[in-house]
Amino acid sequence: MKQEFTITLNGVEYPVVVEGDTITVNGRPFTVEVADDGTVYVDGIAYEVAVEEKQATVDGTTYEYEVHGLTVTATTAPTPSPSTAGPAAVEAGAGAVLAIMPGKIVRVMVEPGQKVEEGDPVCILEAMKMENELHARKSGTVKAVYVKPGDDVEKDQVLVEIE
């Protein structure tokens, strides 16, 4: 899965691409990991990070930020294994909405039988102390919802299926 968006940090815009544990900001790639205690490691250097709605505090310094154009696109449509998809293992087709990274489901905005348009938000995944709105990859009808708020999910796990 790949995320592409723009972040405005203290009034300056930066293009961002997230693929796996690599985050490319303004053309420069960084390897990012988050420890169980919440410490963020960027290229092996530890940072204490706290993120709020419009502010991020990094090692005690607060920055104003806004995120624009957050989209999720699949570079491939992998088939989740039962270990990553849980009891609702399904084949990831064109209408599958996948977890972009490991995290926790905060909100589900659709239910089976509901009509959706491409780009409609379907759920919110919290990861690395940020909420990521995941969108329908095609227009159609929600066939199944495999998660509920509070569920922990793995990267590429099928969350919602649209047909």
Q: Is the pLDDT of residue 70 over 80?
A: no
This prediction has a pTM of 0.47
Q: Do domains 2-71 and 77-162 have the same CATH topology?
A: no
HEC profile of the chain: CEEEEEEEECCEEEEEEEECCEEEECCEEEEEEECCCCCEEECCEEECEEECCCEEEECCEEEEEEEEEEEEECCCCCCCCHHHHHHHCCCCCCCEEECCCCEEEEEECCCCCCEECCCCEEEEEEECCEEEEEECCCCEEEEEECCCCCCEECCCCEEEEEC
Architecture of domain 2-71: 2-Layer Sandwich (3.30)
CATH code linked to domain 77-162: 2.40.50.100
Q: Among 89-93, 136-140, 158-162, which is the least confidently predicted range?
A: 89-93
- The domains of the chain are located at 2-71, 77-162
pLDDT tier, 80 (very low <50, low <70, confident <90, very high otherwise): very low
Rounded mean pLDDT of 53-66?
A: 83
For 97-121, the pLDDT digits (tens) are 888 888 899 999 999 999 999 889 9
| 89/20: higher pLDDT | 20
